[in-house]
């Protein structure tokens, strides 16, 4: 029996494709979104044949304002979408001074603006029905800024902070928001370039999707799929809270700056 529809962005390959298949296996019909319609049609055929699901192909470039508005309209109007997976993302990696400004702008449009607007478009319906799930794909690089990935790291830091704020807003509802924080994943992310990490550090897209959904079942809403010791995240988060508290105790500059205390 169908559980309703799941909408997955960036579904033509990689993590998005794996999520689409895992959700189809769990009983969801699919709305699959990406730029490459030929790949979407191929995936739709597989999902229909293998899982007997309804699959709607929705080609869209989420860096294109009109395409994004069209997808927002779909989310606002359909009452059968139960899950939104914000997976579409761009890298634009390399030293900031040499990265194409257009590529960097598109990264912001897709990784930040599209994700934000699609969450906002889905929420009124989810809140009206008091159910629904949003899965945002972040990255472990959000908490470990690195040379050569300023835009990407910054965008994923936005994703985790945005998601956590949304979790707090929705805490008294039955609308669930999860952020997935993977490390290196075997996908087309690096294109033709040699990945900068050893092969043994990469997980498959299928493993990531299954781990993320298993975490969702367990209500693990900040999920590091390859983190064996979740208490490390707890310690990190506790340190963040302590820093926030210490940095907001007073409006007086710290003594090390040698400034006179305000009167």
Residue 28 catalytic? Answer: no
Token pair in block for residue 46: 């597989």
Distance CA 202, CA 195 (A): 10
**Long-range contacts, 199-204 (Cβ 8 Å, 24+):** 204/18
Nearest alpha-carbon partner for 22 in 44, 45, 47, 49: 47
Q: Determine contact, residues 137/114, Cβ cutoff 8 Å.
A: no
Report the DSSP beta bridge partners of residue 177.
Answer: 134
Distance CA 192, CA 52 (A): 35
Nearest alpha-carbon partner for 116 in 91, 90, 137, 86: 86
Catalytic residue among 19, 28, 152, 158: 152
Token pair in block for residue 233: 């995240």
Distance CA 252, CA 244 (A): 15
Distance CA 165, CA 68 (A): 23
Residues involved in catalysis: 152
């Amino acid at each position: 029996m169908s559980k309703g529809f799941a909408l997955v962005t960036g579904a033509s390959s990689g993590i998005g494709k794996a999520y689409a298949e895992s959700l189809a296996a769990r009983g969801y019909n699919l709305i699959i979104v990406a730029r490459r319609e030929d790949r979407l049609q191929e995936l739709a055929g597989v999902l229909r044949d293998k899982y007997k699901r309804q699959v709607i192909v929705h080609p869209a470039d989420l860096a294109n304002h009109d395409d994004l508005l069209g997808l927002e309209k779909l989310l606002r109007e359909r009452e059968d979408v139960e899950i939104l997976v914000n997976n579409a993302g761009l890298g634009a990696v390399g030293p900031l001074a040499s990265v194409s400004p257009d590529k960097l702008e598109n990264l912001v449009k897709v990784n930040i603006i599209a994700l934000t607007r699609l969450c906002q478009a889905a929420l009124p319906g989810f809140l009206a029905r008091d159910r629904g799930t949003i899965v945002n794909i972040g990255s472990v690089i959000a908490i470990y800024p690195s040379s050569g990935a300023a835009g990407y790291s910054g965008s994923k830091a936005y994703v985790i902070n945005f998601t956590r704020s949304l979790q707090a807003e929705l805490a008294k509802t039955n609308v669930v928001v999860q952020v997935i924080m993977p490390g290196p994943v075997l996908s087309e992310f690096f294109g033709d370039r040699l990945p900068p990490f050893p092969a043994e550090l990469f997980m498959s897209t299928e493993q990531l999707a299954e781990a993320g959904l298993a975490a969702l079942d367990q209500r693990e809403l900040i999920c590091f799929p390859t983190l064996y010791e979740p208490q490390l995240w707890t310690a990190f988060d506790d340190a963040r809270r302590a820093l926030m508290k210490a940095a907001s105790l007073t409006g007086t500059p710290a003594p090390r700056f040698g400034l006179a205390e305000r009167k």
